[in-house]
Amino acid sequence: GPLRASRRGAHSPPWFDAACREKRCVFMEDLRTGQPLHAREFVRRQYKIQIRWSKRAYTQRQRDVFLGRLYSKDPDVHAMLRRSKRTQTTPVAQSVWERYLKAHFQPREAAQLVRGGVALSARDMAVPLGRGRDVEALLRQGTQNNWMPEPDTVALPSEEEMQGLVAKQIGKMNGRASPGFDCVAAPFIKYAAVVRPRVNGRGTERVNVLVPYIARLFKLFYDKARIPECWKKAKLTPLYKKGPLIDPNSYRMLAVSGTMYRLYANVIRSLVTDWCVASNKIPDTQFGFYPGRNTLQPIYILRHLQHAARTIKPGRSSRLHTAFIDFKQAYDTIPRQALWQHLQRTRMPTSFLSVIKNMYDADEYILKDGEKNAQVHPNTGVKQGCPLSPLLFSLYINDIDEIAEGVQGAVTGTAEFYVTHMLYADDLTLMANDPVALQTMLNRLHAYAQRKHLVINTVKSEVVHFNSSGSDLPVFHIGGVPLAHKESFRYLGMMFHKCMSMAKSSEHATGPFMASAFRVRQFVRENFLANRPYVSLWLGKTYVVPAGMYAGQVWGTEYIKGGKEFASDLQVRHMSYLKSTLGVKRTTTNWAVLRECGHEPLQFYWFRSVVKMYNSMLRSNSETLRRVLKADLNIHSREPACWTAQVLDAFQGLRRCDSFVQALRQGTPIPIQEFTDDLRHRLRAVWRDVEGVNPRDTYSKLATYQSLFAVPFDHNV
């Protein structure tokens, strides 16, 4: 029928054009009317020939478009490598989806939760004390009256300030993002720009003509603390993870809000973030979704703590007991009434709280699964698909430091400075050298999670005993449930082994590297670009090399010393990719292949990123991170495998080695351009050694390549 035909057409490949459809219709008509076998075979061959020619013509056109964009350095060239993701209709019935959504977003406990029924900690119940008043009576009075502190005051943004915020967020918009149920597409807003002469100064500037109107609209919504009801609808799409296909729990929900709502929420998030930074509302142990913080920082801290424990040996033991805690659907379990109360206790300005409450009032999720629909009005959790949600969750658990009060965590190398826990959004890590201290924090965490209506997933929560050997290891519990002990753990994308082997981390990084290399080779093969090796080399430098860079700033310090350019397994894979692209033997000298391809060793990118991360840590707004950086410097003379010791050792051979070493010891920034020039100069030393050497007088392959084939270096670089 028409529905079946439309579905078939929707999934037809892009090269299946009108000529192919015509040939197919003729072939199907011959089958239906019972034409002779030889006639049907002739039509079938014509149909196959048409398919083959259409596919070849389409591929050639795509190849020409790609090469044209590549030559002109058009940013749209990257879009051609992205694969479109299509969602498939699930076999789950509509009634099952409806029951699942109600059970997930409208639990009975949240529906019955009233303002006075939220469990409060002693800190939450604190009230101002007066002279001659009984402390216990005041505490009871504060609880009964639900006392809240006075909110902070912030100035309302002017129309000019709102225009700046809107323009900044429009510049960050993803033009390919789905509009959800919104009729306004992201490209319509992002690219509504004209080029005008600069008001002050020479030249021209690109100005978005919609910014003043959107800013005026957003300021009205902000002042009135009200947005249109249609903005509150988010589209839910089920994406299969694992498990039975008919089980709704086997799917992950992808929520997409409307374009205008996301833009407005990003503006509000920017305002709330400024207040959080100014008032220090987010603890410095929270590294997720906060300005100046990222995943590399807690990864670096965890590596340092392992080296510090091995160096200092507190209690005559080098063990570092670490619990990686997983919260089950943390963003979806928070009672909203508890969230509002906590935001009030954190003194959130009334204007912010009113705006956020209105964004959550009568919001709706609409699940689309083929022809099936299911709606639900959630009463728990922060909004899915909302840019403001990670920040709200961080504010909700900004009092988690109380689980570590009075507990001696992991030693750092600085006297009286210990690290007990780290957070990245809802990923919590607890650390201690003493098993009793870690179990104390786990007990407090269990009570804290119950009070905050968070569910700890004891199945996915794991413990790693770093620097340990043997089987005499303590067992840790949460709520009476023992936590599993593992030899290694993948923390924020980096593999940590209990013996602190950087080789294990490097091996783990080869997975994304090889996956990216496979995708590039597939693209080259499908678009008949194998006879253009420069395309593969450009794609390799743009996509394959960055795929092996993640967390190299932390684990890559073992491979940045001069002479270790090819010691990493990842560098071996890199050379294999380059040699296969050139079509040369595996025994071809690596330095000649790198120069022929215009690539640098991965050591160049790792070392440069190490220095960039060091400079960023000096500017970090996390006091914990800055103190850990100093502590790592304190132990480097006793622990040659620590991060600072390996970086100081790697500076050897650079022209400005003494200057860089002094900067690291004194905690001052390293000029990145001067460092990059010195690093490139060190890597080219292999070519300076064979410069002027007659290849007939030596068996050196480098001398032969340098003399007969190599393009001269630009000595200004």
Is the pLDDT at 134 greater than 80, yes or no? no
* Residues in the chain, overall count: 717
Tokens, residue 16: 């299946």
User: Given CA atoms 540, 542, 543, 549 in this order, what sign does their dihedral have?
Assistant: positive
- Residue-level pLDDT at 112: 52
Is the pLDDT at 77 greater than 90, yes or no? no
- Residue-level pLDDT at 106: 83
455 touches 325 (CB < 8 A): no
- Residue-level pLDDT at 310: 94
Mean pLDDT in residue range 577-603? 95
441 touches 403 (CB < 8 A): yes
> Which H or E run includes 610?
helix 602-618
Strands (E) located in 450-557 = 462-466, 477-478, 481-482, 484-485, 488-491, 494-497
What is the identity of the amino acid at 61?
R
Query: Which is more confident, 129 or 357?
Result: 357
- Residue-level pLDDT at 116: 46
* From 204-218, 230-244, 472-486, 699-713, the region with the lowest mean pLDDT: 699-713
- Residue-level pLDDT at 45: 93
**What would the pLDDT profile of 563-575 be if each residue is shown by its tens digit?**
999 999 999 999 9
Q: Tell me how far CA of residue 149 lies from CA of 202, 316, 339, in angstroms.
A: 52, 47, 15
- Residue-level pLDDT at 128: 45
Mean pLDDT in residue range 500-513? 91
Mean pLDDT in residue range 339-353? 96
Q: What is the DSSP string of 365-417?
A: EEEEETTEEEEE---BSSPTT-TTHHHHHHHHTTTGGGGGTT---EE-SSTT-
351 Cβ contact partners less than 8 Å away, ≥ 6 residues apart = 154, 156, 222, 225
Cβ atoms < 10 Å from Cβ of 660: 21
Mean pLDDT in residue range 91-116? 76
Q: What is the DSSP string of 647-670?
A: HHHHTTTSTTHHHHHHHHHHT---
With a pLDDT cut of 90, the percent of the chain lying above it is 73
- Residue-level pLDDT at 40: 87
- Residue-level pLDDT at 1: 37
- Can you give 156-194 as a three-state secondary structure string? CCCHHHHHHHHHHHHHHCCCCCCCCCCCCCHHHHHCCEE
* From 55-64, 141-150, 245-254, 543-552, the region with the lowest mean pLDDT: 141-150
Q: How far is CA 99 from the centre of its chain?
A: 32
3-state helix, strand, coil in the chain (%, to 5): 55, 10, 35
> Three-state DSSP class for 532?
coil
44 Cβ contact partners less than 8 Å away, ≥ 6 residues apart = 27
42 touches 26 (CB < 8 A): no
403 Cβ contact partners less than 8 Å away, ≥ 6 residues apart = 421, 441, 444, 445, 448
Q: How far is CA 595 from the centre of its chain?
A: 33
Check residue 621 and report its DSSP letter. Answer: S
> Three-state DSSP class for 281?
coil
Inter-residue long-range contacts of 175-178, CB under 8 Å, 24+ positions, other chains counted: 176/79, 177/256, 177/259, 177/262, 178/235, 178/256
What is the identity of the amino acid at 166?
V
CA-wise closest residue to 327 among 458, 174, 172 = 458
Cβ atoms < 10 Å from Cβ of 566: 16
* From 123-127, 217-221, 513-517, 566-570, the region with the lowest mean pLDDT: 123-127
Which string of b and e fits 22-47 if b means at least 16 CB within 10 Å? ebeeebeebeeeeeeeeeeeebeeeb
- Residue-level pLDDT at 545: 95
Strand order from edge to edge, sheet including 427-432: 421-424, 427-432, 320-325, 462-466, 484-485
Tokens, residue 163: 């225009």
Is the pLDDT at 83 greater than 60, yes or no? yes
643 touches 300 (CB < 8 A): yes
Using pLDDT thresholds of 50, 70 and 90, give the confidence band for residue 716. low
State how far the Cα of 650 lies from the Cα of 642, in Å rounded to an integer: 12
State how far the Cα of 687 lies from the Cα of 708, in Å rounded to an integer: 13
Check residue 430 and report its DSSP letter. Answer: E
Which residues does residue 364 pair with via DSSP β-bridges, in sequence order? 233
Q: Is the pTM of this model over 0.75?
A: yes
State how far the Cα of 154 lies from the Cα of 213, in Å rounded to an integer: 24
- Residue-level pLDDT at 493: 94
Is the pLDDT at 670 greater than 70, yes or no? yes
- Residue-level pLDDT at 108: 61
What is the identity of the amino acid at 693?
V
607 Cβ contact partners less than 8 Å away, ≥ 6 residues apart = 556, 560, 650, 679
Query: Which is more confident, 2 or 691?
Result: 691
Is the pLDDT at 126 greater than 60, yes or no? no
How buried is residue 17: exposed, middle or buried, by Cβ count under 10 Å (0-12/13-18/19+)?
Answer: middle
State how far the Cα of 710 lies from the Cα of 632, in Å rounded to an integer: 43
Q: What is the DSSP string of 186-246?
A: HHHHHT-EEEEE-SSSSSEEEEETTHHHHHHHHHHHHHHT---GGGGEEEEEEEE-SS-TT
State how far the Cα of 478 lies from the Cα of 485, in Å rounded to an integer: 13
Is the pLDDT at 583 greater than 50, yes or no? yes
Is the pLDDT at 713 greater than 60, yes or no? yes
State how far the Cα of 515 lies from the Cα of 512, in Å rounded to an integer: 5
Q: Which residue has the tokens 């007991």?
A: 321
Q: Tell me how far CA of residue 502 lies from CA of 245, 470, 568, 569, 636, in angstroms.
A: 39, 21, 10, 11, 17
Tokens, residue 147: 């006392």
User: Given CA atoms 635, 638, 642, 648 in this order, what sign does their dihedral have?
Assistant: positive
Cβ atoms < 10 Å from Cβ of 405: 9
- Can you give 132-159 as a three-state secondary structure string? CCCHHHHHHHHHHCCCCCCCCCCCCCCH
State how far the Cα of 456 lies from the Cα of 480, in Å rounded to an integer: 12
Mean pLDDT in residue range 267-278? 96
188 Cβ contact partners less than 8 Å away, ≥ 6 residues apart = none
Q: How far is CA 178 from the centre of its chain?
A: 19
Check residue 87 and report its DSSP letter. Answer: P
Q: Tell me how far CA of residue 427 lies from CA of 39, 236, 341, 390, 616, in angstroms.
A: 66, 24, 23, 12, 23
Q: To the nearest whole number, what is the mean pLDDT of the chain?
A: 90
**What would the pLDDT profile of 12-49 be if each residue is shown by its tens digit?**
788 898 999 999 999 999 888 888 888 889 999 999 99
**What would the pLDDT profile of 614-652 be if each residue is shown by its tens digit?**
999 999 999 999 999 999 999 999 999 999 999 999 999
